[in-house]
Chain A
Amino acid sequence: MVKPIEFKNVSKTFRHPMKVWDRIEAVKDLSFSMENGEIAGFVGHNGAGKTTAIKMMMGFIWPTAGEIQVNGKDPGDPDVKKSIGFLPERPYFYSQLSGMELLSYFGKLTGIKGTVLRDRSEKLLRRVGLFDDRNRKLSGYSKGMLQRIGLAQALINDPQLVIMDEPMSGLDPIGRREVKEIIRSLKREGKSVVFSSHILADIENLSDRVLIIEKGLMKHFGTVPEIVPPDRIRYKIEFNAPDEMKDAAFSLFKGIRVVSNRFVIDCEDLDDFNVKLTSIVQKGYTVHDAGGVYPSLEEIVFSQSGEVAS
């Protein structure tokens, strides 16, 4: 099965803008592949290499080393673009065209014509909440509206793979929620989605797998539980005991506390967890919840870089 995106040992260096002989390594030996129908989130600080990686997968720039395949082909091949939708970071479009004209323009480039194009344009304008503004010039659109029309143009060809660079940037909370819902609906339709974001909660909520990139290097690629270092997982057991056994239960372990009428005990590691859980079960207490508590993505990135991601 052809993978939507595959990076094999991809590196990219740029010439330093001020020092002619110096090179900047934007991406270093990046290897990963996406599965069909999954959402992959790129996370990293400014200048980490997210946008460079996205530009390479769109064929705007070329890797210095390594190989990239999009739907099994070179990203520069115009045929590849037939099944791709792309939303750039802080999109800007032709200011003198209206929203409807822009979708007509981009739709024609993807080979859609006539009533099919008009119907799809109108449907997308409704989906992104711009139908009433469809005949307004884009010069009169706000930043958030440009982001929405950008999303609409990315979906005009009903793409199988959607690539978005900071899709939530510039949107108010309602707009962000709507974009998130669109991303989820794309997954429900079986499409693959790649998006980058600074907002770790968005990445965590939406992504099946997360790619953490730092100074051009891939730190992790996997689900949030997969990328958590084992020593960062905290184990917790919640249980209850009959009234006559409550005193005994409370003195069972050191550090036990009561939360919402339940006993809660934190464990030091997996071994400690197993010992305590066995003991609780043997004593006949009722276990309500037991398992690993994973740190949030923000905590993971925070602990790795030593600073909070914005």
Chain B
Amino acid sequence: MNNIISVSYYTFLEMVRNKVLYVLLFFALFIFVLGIAITQMTIGDNLDIISDIGLGTIEIFSTVLAIFLGINLVQKELTLKTLYPLLSKPLSRTEYVLGKFFGMIFLIVVEIIVMSLIFLVLLHVYGGPERLIAYLPAIYTIFLQTATIISVAVLCSTLTEPTVGGILTISFYLIGATSYNLVYAITHRTSENVAKVINTLRYILPDFSHFNIKDNLVYGRGLEGLHIGFASFYALFIVLIVLSLSVIFFNTKEIN
């Protein structure tokens, strides 16, 4: 356990010093400028628009960070050969993979907290800082969704080079983000048998609709009590499966 904590901490430290903060700074400017510009141009409740943009931006930036840092997590160490001295210590490969994953999770948590604080400032400017409390479940499910993406990025990083890993992880995200609507649209426009097959796919393909509660919260449609619990279970399920695969693959990989 101590080894996992050490790998996580130094993975976080290495990444947080590696220009990630510039991305956050860019986000801060982006969200402020965009929010102010849009509220000037549109008719409607400014707070709703700002909320929509704020939560959407937190999701996009978390996803981008998860993919582009995650796919390099192990591969970069293989390419630069930083892995050799690390694995020459009494550290199992399982501890290494888990440490890398939790280091990345740690980074995303900090990133989401920083972006939420920027979001809070924006809400305050538009007179609704108390809304952030109501949005916490949405921020939590964004974190859950990002955690699944990180686990897939780690898996790809143990298997293949960053370019291929990036394509696979982005595909996972796109499938997860669109599978619910795609399946819904296809099953309503096809024969009953095909619809059954397509419906079965819903249980295999990742479905991020379980994590999407932003609209419900921003536009006051309410939230079922079980939703957060199910989303947590669903994310945990994906992460456990994917991380187990990563550990199995990495334990059988020759570090050449």
Set of chain A residues within 8 Å of B14, measured between Cβ atoms = 94-97
Contact of B85 among A55, A101, A150 (CB under 8 A): A150
B13 with A60: CB separation less than 8 A: no
- B2 cross-chain contacts in A, Cβ below 8 A: 108, 111
A61 touches B90 (CB 8 A): no
Question: Which residues of the partner chain A approach B80 to less than 8 Å between Cβ atoms?
Answer: 92
A-chain residues with CB within 8 Å of residue B18 when the two chains form the complex: 95-96
Please indicate the chain A residues that have their CB under 8 angstroms from the CB of B86 in the complex. 106, 109
| Size of interface on B: residues with Cβ below 8 Å to A | 24
Residue of B nearest to A54 (CB): B84
Residues on the B chain within 8 Å of A85, using CB: 88
Establish whether residues B91 and A61, one from each chain, have CB atoms under 8 Å apart when the complex forms. Answer: no
Interface string of B153-188 (1 = CB under 8 A from A): 000000000000000000000000000000000000
Q: Are B90 and A86 in contact (CB under 8 A)?
A: no
A86 touches B88 (CB 8 A): yes
Smallest distance from the beta carbon of A60 to chain B beta carbons, Å?
4
- When chains A and B are docked, how far (Å) is the Cα of A222 from the Cα of B86? 32
Q: In the bound complex, do residue B254 and residue A93 qualify as a contact, i.e. CB atoms below 8 Å apart? A: no
How many whole Å from B252's CB to the nearest CB in chain A? 9
State whether B90 touches A105 (Cβ < 8 A): no
> How many CB-defined contacts (below 8 Å) exist between A and B?
83
Is A180 on the interface with B (CB-CB < 8 A)?
Answer: no
Question: Per a CB cutoff under 8 Å, which of B17, B82, B89, B254 touches A110?
Answer: B89
B13 engages A96 (CB within 8 Å): yes
Name the segment of A75-83, A201-209, A244-252 touching the other chain: A75-83
CB-defined contacts of B200 to chain A, threshold 8 Å: none
Question: Which B82-125 residues sit within 8 Å CB-CB of chain A?
Answer: 82, 84-92
Q: What are the residues of chain B within 8 A of A62 when measuring CB–CB?
A: 254
With a CB–CB cut-off of 8 A, which chain A residues contact B42? Answer: none
Whether A154 sits at the interface, judged by CB under 8 Å, is yes
- Contact status B6-A105, CB under 8 Å: yes
B133 at the interface (CB under 8 A from A): no
Is A97 touching B90 in the complex (CB atoms < 8 A)? no
Q: What 0/1 readout, one digit per residue, does chain A (55-69) give for beta carbons within 8 Å of chain B?
A: 100111110000000
Interface residues of A in 118-133 (CB under 8 A from B): none
Point out the residues of chain B lying under 8 angstroms from A96, CB to CB: 13-14, 17-18
Is the CB of B255 closer than 8 A to any CB of chain A? yes
Q: Are B85 and A88 in contact (CB under 8 A)?
A: yes
Return A87 CB to nearest CB of chain B, in Å.
8
Knowing A78-B90, A109-B3 are in contact, say whether A86-B85 is a contact too (CB < 8 A). Answer: yes
**Chain B neighbourhood of A101, CB < 8 A:** 10, 13
Q: Is A160 engaged at the interface, CB distance under 8 Å to the other chain? A: no
Q: Once the chains bind, are B85 and A153 in contact (CB under 8 Å)?
A: yes
B196 within 8 A of A: no
Which residue of B6, B10, B82, B84 is within 8 Å of A58 (Cβ)?
B84
The reply to whether B13 and A97 form a contact with Cβ atoms under 8 Å apart is yes
Contact in complex: A154, B85 (CB < 8 Å): yes
Whether A61 touches B255, Cβ cut-off 8 Å, given contacts A96-B13, A101-B13, A111-B90, is: yes
Chain A positions 259-298 with a Cβ under 8 Å from a chain B Cβ = none
User: Is A224 at the interface (CB under 8 A from chain B)?
Assistant: no
Complex CA–CA separation, A163 to B89 (angstroms)? 12
Report B49-105 residues with CB < 8 Å from chain A CB: 80-82, 84-92
10 contacts between A and B (CB under 8 A): A58-B88, A60-B254, A62-B254, A78-B92, A81-B91, A88-B85, A92-B81, A108-B3, A109-B3, A154-B88
Beyond the given A78-B91, A97-B14, please list 14 additional residue pairs across the A-B interface where CB-CB is below 8 A: A55-B255, A58-B84, A60-B84, A60-B254, A61-B254, A79-B90, A87-B85, A96-B14, A108-B2, A109-B86, A109-B90, A109-B91, A110-B90, A163-B88
Ranked nearest first, the 6 interchain pairs of A and B with the lowest CB-CB distance are A86-B88, A96-B17, A109-B89, A60-B255, A88-B84, A61-B254
Residues of A within 8 A of B (CB): 14, 55, 58-62, 78-79, 81-82, 84-88, 90-97, 101, 105-106, 108-111, 150, 153-154, 157, 163
B residues within 8 Å of A by Cβ? Answer: 2-3, 6-7, 10, 13-14, 17-18, 80-82, 84-92, 254-256
